[in-house]
Amino acid sequence: MTASGPARLRLALPIAILVLVADQASKWWADQVLDLQTVGHLPLVAVGPFALDFTMVWNRGVTFGLMAGDGPWHQLALAGVAAIIVAVLLRWLWKAENRTTAVAIGALVGGAIGNSIDRLRWGAVFDFIHAQAWGWSWYVFNVADAAIVLGVMVLVADGLLRKQAPTA
């Protein structure tokens, strides 16, 4: 038996808030404490083939910088698309089949709102975490991006691995 819409919301909402607060707090820290807008790059840690550093990047597009643009209307349009996506996710949340889906949707909502705040505040998303391994460099990202990626991975895994009820 699945939980009701309000029960799923009570599960997902704290996750969304946690992601949003962690995202905005980490961006404040990177901007105000590390002063990445001035410094640009700070090496953090390197262990064997793994390296993690802070690198200031303004993402004016969506995932991996796709559909980038500089105009204010462009950023408002991207924030508007994110608002529509959040509305669709909340509708999905209301009908979510299990707790795993609810938690994953909470992470997606928190991440989408966090990056939308950046677009409205700065006109771009503030990315600053840069990971590398074995000579391979990942795109610079932030806490909201990580939550979105993990949320999508959980939804995909849940959809692929969950046992379906037999149909008659």
Dihedral of alpha carbons 134, 138, 141, 142, sign: negative
Which value, to the nearest 10 degrees, does the dihedral of the CA atoms of residues 114, 120, 124, 126 take?
A: -40
Q: Is 31 a catalytic residue?
A: no
The catalytic residue among 23, 70, 118, 127 is 127
Listing DSSP states for 103-123 in one string gives HHHHHHHHHHHHHHHHHHHHS
**Encoded tokens for 39:** 């410094």
Name 137's Cβ contacts closer than 8 Å, sequence gap at least 6. Answer: 130, 131
Torsion-angle region of residue 35: left (phi > 0), alpha (psi -120 to 50) or beta? left
Q: Is 145 a catalytic residue?
A: yes
**Encoded tokens for 134:** 């074995």
The catalytic residue among 23, 35, 53, 145 is 145
Active site members: 127, 145
